[in-house]
Amino acid sequence: MPDRSPSPSAAAPVSKLWSRAILLVDMNAFFASVEQLERPELRDRPVAITNGEQGTCIITCSYEARHHGVHTGMRLKEAGQLCPDLIRIPARPQRYAAVSTTIMAALQETISPDMEIFSVDEAFLDITRCQKLLGHPADIAQRAKQIVFEVSGLRCSVGLSGDKTTAKYAAKLNKPDGLTVIPPEEARQTLADVPVTELCGINRGIGEFLAARGVHRCADMAGLPIGALAQRFGNPGRRIWYMARGADPDPVHVNVAPPKTIGHGKVVPPDTRDRGTLLTFLLHMSEKVGERLRRHHLQAQHFFIGLRCARGWLGTRAPTRLPTDDGGAIYQLSRQVLRDHWQGEGIHQVQITALDPRNGERQLQLFEAEPVQQRASNQVMDAVNQRYGEFTLAPARLLNRADMPNVISPAWKPFGHRQTISDN
């Protein structure tokens, strides 16, 4: 689809710098596009991505499928009725994460270091400081599109404005492969007739709160005092008030905060009452948490061990004797929690979370026996699994673990402790 925004030559003069310039890079049907790029037989055909071979819910789909009314979140059976030629492809989260990492690194290196990874297929870039070097913001946005194509072979849509909310709104106006420019001085007027619920971050609850006070479109926000939102929602409420006026004050968040927790959870077969099955799931999550702690040179001493039943969560916060990154030690806590808190209720989900991850390079306590053999064993296991795939080496009980594919966490980042493909 050709760009509908003004061409760079028709844009404002390069000498007229924007006081603030934010662009959002949004990949087009990202997972499906990766599959179509790497499998030529899928190009120009309706493709639906599902979570594994057994997945029945569509994660995303190609634009050819969308043309028939297929959309994200639709059940595969319903999608097949709309589009009989639909091709189901199991997701490959590791591959999508790798392509995303390449794209993000290229944008950060060639466009702007001031980048916020919003999701695996979206990134905000603050290009305010780049204008004297790279030119007018519209030229920079066009350059970003070209960089993405050069490093990945994929097309993206870009929205450009003076704040994050307006840039994100702009990016979805001309998809796929669009470039939409909303100059900062035009943002408020452009958003005036837009329903407030179309803005990123305004969920159903906030939308109902605003509707009850006569705010349906962004222009209606002028009749609502900012204090009404601040009193109900605090600082996020103040931000919402400015968002609707095309003046979102939220900066591009460059740094990823240190982890406050590190955890993994898994849905188990409905109403599971078999102790052996629960122990297998708990060992699976214990090893996942332990490996992730080791990978980022972290240890923890307090863990939440939880089992979800019909009436809520069973479990507790449990400590180890010393900070640990060993899945076996975490599993022993899990066995104890299962013994003390489970009375045979039907379980639907298990969760293990390290509550206080900290730098693992700590000084040993006096008379503390360093578990040299276990540490060496974990290092060998991690090296083998990194090379040949997750759980190539694993405790024997995990041979019976559930075959549920991993997914990309909504909080995924291409670098650091959030660079993790999780269980669902």
Span(s) in the chain for CATH 1.10.150.20: 192-243
Residue span(s) of the chain under CATH 3.40.1170.60 come to 30-94
Min mean pLDDT across 27-36, 92-101, 309-318, 353-362 is at 353-362
| Least confident residue range of 97-106, 129-138, 246-255, 264-273 | 264-273
Each residue's pLDDT tens digit, 391-424 = 778 788 887 665 666 666 666 666 654 555 554 4
Reply yes or no on whether the pLDDT at 363 is more than 60: no
SS3 (DSSP) at 15:
coil
- The sign of the torsion formed by the CA atoms of 206, 209, 211, 216 equals negative
3-state SS class at 97:
helix
Give percent of the chain with pLDDT exceeding 90: 71
pLDDT at 399: 75
pLDDT band at 366 (very low <50, low <70, confident <90, very high): low
Query: For position 269, what pLDDT does the model report?
Result: 84
Position 388 scores a pLDDT of: 77
Looking at residue 109, its pLDDT comes to 96
Please check the confidence at residue 55 and state whether its pLDDT lies above 80.
no
Across 249-357, the runs of DSSP E, i.e. the strands, are 262-272, 298-309, 312-324, 347-354
Tens-place pLDDT, residues 157-187 = 999 999 999 999 999 999 999 999 999 999 9
Length of the chain: 424
Could you tell me where in the chain the CATH 3.30.1490.100 domains are found? 262-361+370-423
Fold classification of 262-361+370-423 (topology level): Dna Ligase; domain 1 (3.30.1490)
- pLDDT for residue 351: 94
> What is the reported pLDDT for 418?
55
Q: Could you tell me what percent of the chain has a pLDDT over 70?
A: 88
Q: What is the pLDDT of residues 302-346, one digit of tens each?
A: 999 999 999 999 999 999 988 999 999 999 999 999 999 999 999
**30-94 adopts what CATH topology?**
MutS, DNA mismatch repair protein, domain I (3.40.1170)
Q: Give me the mean pLDDT over the 61-74 stretch.
A: 95
On the question of pLDDT at 36 being above 70, the answer is yes
Q: What is the pLDDT of residue 57?
A: 87
Amino acid letter for position 355: L
Q: Which CATH number fits domain 192-243: 3.40.50.300, 1.10.287.40, 1.10.150.20, 1.20.140.10?
A: 1.10.150.20
Among candidates 124, 102, 107, 106, which has minimal Cα distance to 26? 124
State the Cα–Cα distance between residues 112 and 197, nearest whole angstrom. 30
Mean pLDDT estimate for the chain: 88
Residues 192-246 have pLDDT tens digits of: 999 999 999 999 999 999 999 999 999 999 999 999 999 999 999 999 999 999 9
Identity (one letter) of the amino acid at 399?
A: L
Work out the average pLDDT over 20-33: 97
Which one, of 22, 9, 248, 26, lies nearest residue 137 by Cα? 22
pLDDT for the residue numbered 11: 38
How high is the pLDDT of residue 387? 82
> Which residues are designated catalytic?
122
The predicted pLDDT at position 15 comes to 55
Q: What is the pLDDT of residue 390?
A: 76
